[in-house]
C-alpha cells in the first residue's frame, strides 16, 4: 500500500459561535502511526473528520500527499475509517461486509472474493467468512471492520477510538494486532483516543490536544518524561501525576508541611510542583512530605497507596508486597531531579 503523508495547515473549525479547532498545523509523515490524544471535546475527532472529508474546515488547508483536498468529497479521498461501533451490516455475512467497498467500486465477483479472502486472512478471520456479525465476539467484529478498511488499499487509515467498546483483555490483544498490522502494511495512520495507554503503546508520535489546540507533539516516551505544560503532565500517565501548590525559596520547594531541597532553580515564588507515583518512596520517617495512608490498592505487580497530606492527596506506587494499615503515618520522598515545576498562571513548564 502507498504511504501518503497527511498535512493540515492553519485549520480552524467553528460550529456557530463555538470554536472547536484553533489554527491547527499538523503533519503525519508517510507510513507513520500518529495518535491524537485528549479528553472529550478537545477537537481530536473533529480533526479526523476534516481529514476524512466528513466535515469541512472553517479555514486552512488539508493535504493528502501534495494534493489539496479541501473540496474533494470523502468518497474520492481513498481513506479508510474504522469506528468504535464497528459499523457492520447485520444482515450481511462477514465476507459480504468486508467486500462491500469493492462492490461499490464495481470490482467483479472473482477478484472481489480473492481480495476479501486476503484481507480476512490478514486479521485471522478466514474461517468466519460465512457467519453473520452477531455470531462473532466484539474483538472479531472489530477485526471485520479492520479487514473492510484493508480491502480498499487506502492511502491512509483513520481510526476513531476503535477499541473503546472492548473489555480490557480484548483491548490489549487488539492493540498488539494493530501494531503488528501497521508494521506489515506501513500505511499512514491517524488514530484518535482518550486512552493514554493506547497512545503510549501504539503511536510513533502522540499529539496531546486540549481545547482545540495541540499542547505537545512528540514520541510517547518523551511526552511522558518531559511534559511541556501542566495539562500534558496531568493527562499523560495512569495514575496521573501528583501536584502540589506551593512556592520556591532559598533552594527549596515548600507546600504546607512539605519541604523539598531542589538546588539551583532560577524561578522564585509561587509554583506548582508535580511528581509521578512511581518516583515516590515511602518510609516511616525521614521523608520530605509528612502523610497518612488513606487507601491501599494491591494491583498484583505493584501496590497503589493513596496518602493524605496537608496540601491534599497523592498517590505512590509501592512494591507489590507493600501493605499499610489505614491512617498509618508515613513520609514521602521524591528525588529533586524527578520533580516537575509549572507556572501557576500560564501552566507552562518551569525548567532549570
**Could you please report the per-residue DSSP string of 301-322?**
S-EEEEEEETTEEEEEEE-TT-
What dihedral do alpha carbons 225, 227, 230, 234 form, nearest 10°?
A: -50
pLDDT on residue 202? 94
Residue 223 sits in a domain whose CATH number is 3.40.50.300
Give residue 266's pLDDT: 64
Q: Give SS3 for 122.
A: helix
Cell of 140: 472479531
The counts of H helices and E strands in the chain are 8, 21
CA distance linking residue 241 with residue 276, whole number of Å: 5
The answer as to whether 273 is a domain residue is yes
Q: Cα–chain-centroid distance for residue 280? A: 25
Quick check: 289 and 256 in contact, CB under 8 A? Answer: no
Residue 165 and residue 272 in one domain? no
Question: For residue 267, which phi and psi values (nearest 5 degrees)?
Answer: -70, 140
Of 209, 235, 261, the one marking the end of a domain is 235
199 with 259, same domain: the answer is: no
Asked whether residue 283 falls in the same domain as residue 179, the answer is: no
d(CA 57, CA 212): 13
Which among 207, 235, 263 is the end of a domain?
A: 235
Residues 168 and 255 in one domain: no
Which set of grid coordinates corresponds to residue 18?
463555538
pTM above 0.85, yes or no: yes
**Does 1 fall in a domain?**
no
Give residue 12's pLDDT: 97
- Dump pLDDT digits (tens) for 291-309: 999 999 999 999 999 999 9
Domain span at residue 16 reads 6-235
- So what's the pLDDT on residue 52? 94
User: Same structural domain for residues 113 and 161?
Assistant: yes
DSSP for 40-63, written as a single string: TTSSHHHHHHHHHTSS--SEEEEE
Using the 3D structure, point to which of 235, 266, 288 is the last residue of a domain.
235
Q: What stretches in the chain show pLDDT beneath 50?
A: none
Q: What is the CATH number of the domain that holds 264?
A: 2.40.50.140
Residues 247, 226 within the same domain: no
Instruction: Indicate the number of domains in the chain.
Output: 2
- For residues 128 and 190, membership in a common domain is answered with yes
Are the C-beta atoms of 99 and 116 separated by less than 8 Å? yes
Same domain, yes or no: 155 and 264: no
Task: Dump pLDDT digits (tens) for 39-87.
Answer: 999 999 999 999 999 999 999 999 999 999 999 999 899 998 888 777 7
Residues 26 and 161 in one domain: yes
Distance in Å from the first CA to the final CA of the chain: 46
169 and 199 share one domain: yes
Kindly state whether residues 118 and 177 are assigned to the same domain.
yes
Residue 257 domain-assigned (yes or no):
yes
User: Does the residue 213 lie in any domain?
Assistant: yes
- The whole-angstrom separation of Cα 206 and Cα 226 is 13
Amino acid at each position: 500500500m502507498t504511504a501518503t503523508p497527511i498535512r493540515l495547515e492553519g485549520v480552524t473549525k467553528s460550529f456557530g459561535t463555538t470554536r472547536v479547532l484553533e489554527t491547527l498545523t499538523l503533519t503525519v509523515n508517510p507510513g507513520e502511526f500518529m495518535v491524537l490524544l485528549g479528553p472529550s471535546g478537545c477537537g481530536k475527532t473533529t480533526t479526523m473528520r476534516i481529514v476524512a472529508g466528513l466535515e469541512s474546515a472553517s479555514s486552512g488547508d488539508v493535504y493528502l500527499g501534495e494534493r489539496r483536498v479541501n473540496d474533494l468529497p470523502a468518497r474520492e479521498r481513498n481513506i479508510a475509517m474504522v469506528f468504535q461501533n464497528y459499523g457492520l451490516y447485520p444482515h450481511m455475512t462477514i465476507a459480504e461486509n468486508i467486500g462491500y467497498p469493492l462492490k461499490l467500486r464495481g470490482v467483479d465477483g472473482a477478484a472481489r472474493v480473492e481480495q476479501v479472502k486476503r484481507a480476512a486472512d490478514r486479521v485471522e478471520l478466514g474461517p468466519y467468512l460465512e457467519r453473520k456479525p452477531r455470531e462473532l465476539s466484539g474483538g472479531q467484529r472489530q477485526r471485520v471492520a479492520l479487514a473492510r478498511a484493508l480491502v480498499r488499499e487506502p492511502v491512509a487509515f483513520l481510526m476513531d477510538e476503535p477499541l473503546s467498546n472492548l473489555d480490557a483483555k480484548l483491548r490489549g490483544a487488539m492493540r498488539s494486532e494493530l501494531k503488528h498490522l501497521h508494521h506489515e502494511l506501513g500505511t499512514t495512520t491517524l488514530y484518535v483516543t482518550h486512552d493514554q495507554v493506547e497512545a503510549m503503546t501504539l503511536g510513533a508520535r502522540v499529539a496531546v490536544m486540549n481545547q482545540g489546540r495541540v499542547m505537545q507533539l512528540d514520541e510517547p516516551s518523551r511526552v511522558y518524561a518531559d511534559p511541556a505544560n501542566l495539562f500534558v503532565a496531568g493527562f499523560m500517565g495512569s495514575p496521573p501525576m501528583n501536584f502540589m501548590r506551593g512556592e520556591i525559596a532559598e533552594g527549596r520547594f515548600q507546600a504546607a508541611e512539605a519541604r523539598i531541597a531542589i538546588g539551583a532553580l532560577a524561578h522564585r515564588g509561587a509554583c506548582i510542583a508535580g511528581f509521578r507515583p512511581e518516583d515516590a518512596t515511602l518510609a516511616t520517617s525521614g521523608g520530605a512530605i509528612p502523610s497518612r495512608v488513606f487507601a491501599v490498592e494491591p494491583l498484583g505487580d505493584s501496590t497503589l497507596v493513596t496518602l493524605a497530606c496537608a496540601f491534599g492527596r497523592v498517590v505512590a506506587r509501592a512494591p507489590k508486597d507493600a501493605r499499610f494499615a489505614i491512617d498509618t503515618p508515613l513520609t514521602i520522598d521524591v528525588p529533586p531531579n524527578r520533580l516537575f515545576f509549572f507556572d501557576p498562571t500560564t501552566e507552562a513548564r518551569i525548567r532549570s
